[in-house]
């Protein structure tokens, strides 16, 4: 056996050993172990530091000598016996988990080529599941808001994320911070929420569903507060308008103050310990922020329902196996006669309209028309939002939109989505909903 030699010409460790084994019944074997500082890539991810160096070992089968006779005396070479049954590799090599790989002696061992990183596939960018599991859903308000309840109804297993403004909710979905947004668009008592209609046109999100949530308002205040001592009632403008007549009867002396959301008003009272202020919010908000319910069910009409839409980055595929609703927005330039023709396109095909809403045309709010007798007349320009009960998968809906496009200067489909068919009956006045 050759002696182990160590040389460090440049501070790099180099360990080599040459062992020759000769067996009585077969050809001699050669084990060549090299411990060197060259950088080599290995499948187990070892690095290039000194502690991570790994020896590359090869077992070479060679017939350097013919097999010897059993009674022939053994030759002594280098102070050791030629017949060696085992080789103890250096302990440092064992600690480095040496891999002994048999190779052909005619070929030299080459370092393995590093594998490139695995590219992304379509499954890595697949959309979130539609059933609500592990979805991140944003809503406007704070915990306890009606929008949070709507998000839970639309996606029962979602992660609800509050946002302080409607604009932030739109941006969260566009920037992939969230998967869905659940935002209100109209109320049965207060009418349309114009801000969200304007944002639907400004952003490129798609309506993928709707949910209708019964609203049950409560008058909340700090524990021990008496109604006759209230000087202010604060809540969202929609909530204040929905409870206007009831508030006049309960606390006519209290001034009304509008804030961004209902649950936020309850939180503000609790944080600032306001003894003379009450909030209009849900019973859940009272539970979350430790407030007392002074009056329950204070909405002027018990049939108080808010319609929410679910927004996503991609539209869903329209179907015909269940009731669908389609939302569009369009603009025209030639007076009210064009609007009549647009509506006739739906009437002739027996398509029911569930909503029509006009909003000022932000890019062109006023149109100037020359009049030879009166000079210059000013006409307001509008965008029209229309909801109709039909799926884009139906031929009649496709033909209707094709005809509408002939009379309009702008047409955009906001979404074709399943209708919320959940049965609901208004609860008795003064009793909370389940």
Residues 6+ positions from 84 with CB-CB distance below 8 Å: 1, 19, 20, 21, 22
d(CA 19, CA 1): 5
pLDDT in tens, 370-395: 544 454 555 667 889 999 999 999 99
Among 5, 427, 17, smallest CA distance to 218 is for: 427
pLDDT at 157: 87
Q: At what angle do helices 166-174 and 194-202 cross, to 10 degrees?
A: 30
For the question of whether the overall pTM of this predicted structure is more than 0.75, the answer is: no
Tell which residue, 409, 415, 159, has the closest CA to residue 309: 415
Strands (E), 96-236: 99-102, 136-140, 159-163, 180-187, 191-192, 206-214, 218-221, 232-235
User: Encoding tokens for residue 82?
Assistant: 């030629």
Alpha carbons 21 and 167: distance in angstroms, whole number: 79
DSSP string, 273-317: T-TTEEEEE-HHHHHHHT-EEEEE---S-S--EEEEEEEESSPPP
Number of neighbouring beta carbons within 10 Å of residue 90: 15
| pLDDT tens digits, 404-428 | 999 888 899 999 999 987 765 555 4
For residue 232, list its beta bridge partners: 255, 277
Instruction: Read off the pLDDT band of 434 (50, 70, 90).
Output: very low
User: What CA–CA distance (Å, rounded) separates 48 from 65?
Assistant: 39
Does the pLDDT at position 40 exceed 50?
A: no
Angstrom distance (rounded) from CA 371 to CA 373: 5
Residues 396, 351 contacting (CB under 8 angstroms): yes
| pLDDT score for 354 | 94
Asked whether the beta carbons of 102 and 59 are under 8 A apart, the reply is yes
Report, as an integer, the average pLDDT of 131-148: 85
Residue-wise pLDDT for 229-244, tens only, equals 999 999 998 899 899 9
Per-residue model confidence as pLDDT tens digits over 213-222: 999 999 999 9
Q: Which residues pair with 33 in a beta bridge?
A: 17, 57
More confident residue, 252 or 369: 252
| Residue 218 near residue 287 (C-beta atoms within 8 A) | no
Q: What are residue 60's DSSP bridge partners?
A: 30
pLDDT tier at 55, thresholds 50, 70, 90: very low
For 271-282, how does the pLDDT look when each residue is reduced to its tens digit (9 = 90+)? 999 999 999 999
- Give the catalytic positions in this structure: 306, 308
């Amino acid at each position: 056996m050759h002696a182990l030699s160590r040389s460090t010409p440049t501070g790099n460790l180099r360990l080599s050993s040459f062992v020759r084994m000769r067996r009585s019944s077969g050809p001699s074997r050669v084990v060549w172990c090299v411990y060197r500082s060259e950088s080599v890539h290995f499948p187990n991810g070892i690095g290039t530091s000194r502690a991570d160096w790994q020896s590359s070992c090869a077992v070479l089968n060679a017939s350097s000598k013919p097999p010897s006779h059993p009674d022939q005396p053994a030759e002594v070479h280098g102070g050791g016996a030629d017949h060696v049954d085992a080789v103890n590799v250096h302990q440092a090599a064992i600690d480095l988990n040496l891999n002994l790989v048999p190779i052909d002696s005619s070929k030299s061992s080459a370092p393995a080529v590093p594998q490139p990183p695995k590219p992304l596939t379509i499954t890595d960018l697949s959309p979130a599941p539609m059933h609500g599991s592990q979805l991140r859903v944003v809503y406007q308000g704070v915990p306890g808001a009606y929008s949070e309840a709507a998000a839970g109804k639309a996606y029962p297993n979602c992660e609800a994320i509050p946002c302080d403004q409607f604009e932030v909710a739109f941006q969260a979905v566009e920037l992939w911070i969230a998967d869905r947004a659940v935002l209100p668009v109209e109320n049965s008592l207060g009418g349309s929420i114009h801000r969200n209609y304007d944002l639907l046109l400004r952003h490129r999100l798609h309506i993928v569903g709707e949910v209708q949530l019964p609203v049950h308002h409560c008058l909340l205040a700090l524990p021990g507060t008496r109604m006759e001592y209230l000087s202010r009632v604060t809540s969202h403008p929609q909530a204040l308008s929905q409870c206007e007549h009831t508030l006049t009867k309960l606390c006519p002396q209290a001034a009304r103050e509008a804030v961004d959301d209902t649950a936020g008003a309850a939180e503000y009272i609790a944080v600032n310990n306001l003894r003379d202020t009450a909030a209009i919010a849900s019973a859940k908000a009272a539970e979350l922020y430790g407030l007392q319910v002074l009056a329950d069910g204070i909405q002027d009409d018990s049939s108080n329902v808010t319609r929410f839409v679910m927004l996503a980055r991609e539209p869903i595929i329209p179907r015909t196996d269940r009731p669908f609703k389609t939302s569009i927005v369009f603009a025209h330039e030639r007076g009210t006669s064009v609007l009549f023709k647009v509506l006739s396109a739906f009437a002739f095909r027996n398509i029911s309209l569930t909503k029509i809403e006009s909003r000022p045309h932000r890019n062109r709010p006023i149109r100037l028309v020359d009049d030879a007798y009166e000079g210059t007349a000013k006409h307001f320009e509008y965008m029209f939002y229309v909801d109709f009960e039909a799926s884009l998968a139906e031929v009649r809906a496709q033909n209707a939109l094709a005809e509408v496009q002939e009379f309009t200067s702008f047409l955009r489909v906001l979404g074709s989505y399943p209708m919320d068919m959940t049965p609901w009956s208004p609860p008795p006045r003064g009793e909370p909903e389940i």
